[in-house]
């Protein structure tokens, strides 16, 4: 598709890299492998979610091909996500293919952890570099209120298995929602410090499927930090090694470990964004809040291009997607438009 929404800047891909009209170079690709999930988190998915037929999802070979092309354009890190990525069978095989792509030096996974106990060892052997596990609460009743299914014990077993499998620097992602998760913050922090997990709090974004998001349901990173500091002492700002990373990191005042805040609503980091997305059904997106998608499945399956011409067509589409990227997501601004698809259909 053509670039229909440029707001300025160059329309060329500088030196074969994925640079948008605002000078942002893209090095990170989030790849969703499924829209299915074994939870129904209120902030992500409707209770009665309908899923894409399997035939509409990219195959692992198709995903690997896209990643090969993206790597030639400067993509360096891949994060596998969903839906729940561990529900797609043989995910370790995809990991094996992706870590072997020249230019890709980081392959990570975001999971709810329910199936991790069975798969951690296999994923580690396949070469997966990093692991984020989403966990909002250590109380089964709160976990169930959010996820609308049970599973806390399985997540904890998954974390233990991941550590036993040799994953270092496991990170816990926790979504914060006003009126719901305030009481979970300190127990989660104490758990992560005790167990040596890095902790990241993420603000609730307007990507749920049941229109439950409202400004006053966002528990800001600043509010979470205040709760932490009241109970656990002052946090100390920590340097980030990666300029593209959205989190603002701190170390605990006493003892080791880190805690970070991803504040896309109260403190957007769009000017540093280096991310692109590939949905499970083969659509490129240049933002979580993108209202346009670029159909790479059509390119892959259209049968018009093959071999090097197919790679060139994928590269052109990705370039179109990058050039159309807006300056910022615009949450809270007049005219902000929610994307038609919810988080589980995009890939968080």
Binding site for ligand SF4 (CB under 6 A): 37, 39-41, 44-45, 82-84, 112, 134, 343-344
Is residue 43 close enough to count as binding ligand SAM by CB under 6 A? yes
Nearest to 260, CA basis, from 78, 160, 138, 132: 132
Closest to 343 measured CA to CA, from 6, 4, 20, 30: 30
> What does 40 bind: ligand SF4, ligand SAM, none (CB cut-off 5 to 8 Å by kind)?
ligand SF4
Distance of closest approach, residue 319 Cβ to ligand SAM, in angstroms: 27
**Using CB distances below 5 to 8 A depending on partner kind, what does residue 176 bind out of ligand SAM, ligand SF4, none?**
none
Can you list the positions of beta strands (E) in the chain? 28-32, 77-81, 106-111, 130-134, 171-176, 198-203, 235-237, 248-252, 258-262, 275-278, 283-285, 294-295
Cβ proximity to ligand SF4: between 70 and 209 the closer is: 209
> Whole-number minimum distance, CB 241 to ligand SF4, in Å?
27
DSSP, res 62: H
Closest approach, Cβ 77 to ligand SF4, in A, equals 20
User: Stretches 64-72, 179-187, 204-212, 240-248: which one binds ligand SAM (CB under 6 A)?
Assistant: 204-212
19/343 with CB nearer ligand SF4: 343
159, containing H or E segment: helix 152-164
Establish if 119 lies at the interface with ligand SAM (CB under 6 A): no
> Contact 101/121 with Cβ under 8 angstroms?
no
> Residue 207, interface with ligand SAM (CB under 6 A)?
yes
Which sign does the torsion angle of CA 57, 270, 95, 314 carry? positive
Among 34, 79, 82, 339, binds ligand SAM (CB under 6 A): 82
Q: Which is nearer to ligand SAM, 21 or 82 (CB)?
A: 82
Give the nearer residue to ligand SF4 in terms of CB position, either 199 or 300: 199
Among 34, 97, 119, 134, binds ligand SAM (CB under 6 A): 134
* DSSP character string of 79-148: EEESS-GGGSTTHHHHHHHHHTSTT--EEEEEE-STTHHHHHHHHHHHT--EEEEE---SSHHHHHHHHS
Helix (H, G, I), strand (E, B) or coil at 210: coil
Other Cβ atoms closer than 10 A to 304: 10
List residues binding ligand SAM (CB under 6 A). Answer: 37, 43-44, 81-82, 84, 110-112, 134, 173, 175, 202, 204-205, 207-208, 343-344, 348
């Amino acid at each position: 598709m053509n670039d229909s929404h440029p707001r300025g800047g160059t329309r060329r891909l500088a030196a074969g890299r994925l640079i948008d009209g605002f000078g942002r170079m893209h090095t990170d690709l989030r790849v969703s492998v499924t829209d299915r999930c074994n939870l129904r988190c209120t902030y992500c998915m409707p209770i009665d979610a309908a899923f894409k037929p399997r035939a509409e999802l990219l195959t692992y070979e198709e995903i690997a091909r896209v990643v090969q092309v993206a790597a030639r354009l400067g993509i360096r890190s891949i994060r596998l996500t969903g839906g729940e990525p561990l529900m797609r069978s043989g995910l370790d095989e995809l990991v094996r293919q992706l870590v072997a792509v020249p230019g890709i030096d980081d392959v990570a996974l975001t999971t709810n952890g329910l199936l991790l106990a069975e798969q951690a060892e296999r994923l580690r052997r396949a070469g997966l570099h990093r692991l984020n596990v989403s966990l909002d609460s250590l109380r089964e009743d709160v976990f169930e209120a959010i996820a609308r299914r049970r599973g806390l014990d399985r997540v904890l077993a998954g974390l233990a298995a991941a550590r036993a499998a040799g994953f270092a620097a496991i990170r816990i992602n926790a979504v914060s929602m006003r009126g719901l998760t305030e009481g979970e913050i300190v127990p989660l922090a104490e758990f992560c410090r005790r167990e040596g997990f890095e902790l990241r709090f993420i603000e609730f974004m307007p990507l749920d499927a049941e229109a439950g998001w409202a400004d006053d349901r966002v528990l800001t990173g600043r509010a979470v930090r205040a709760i932490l500091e009241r109970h656990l002492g002052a946090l100390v700002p920590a340097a980030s090694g990666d300029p593209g990373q959205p989190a603002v990191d701190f170390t605990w005042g006493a003892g080791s470990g880190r805690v970070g805040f991803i504040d896309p609503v109260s403190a957007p980091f769009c000017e540093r964004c280096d991310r692109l997305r590939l949905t499970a059904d083969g659509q490129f997106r240049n933002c979580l809040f993108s209202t346009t998608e670029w159909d790479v499945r059509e390119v892959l399956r259209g049968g018009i291009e093959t071999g090097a011409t197919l790679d060139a067509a994928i590269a052109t589409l990705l370039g179109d997607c990058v050039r159309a990227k807006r300056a910022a997501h615009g949450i809270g601004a007049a005219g902000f438009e929610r994307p038609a698809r919810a988080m589980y259909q995009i890939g968080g």
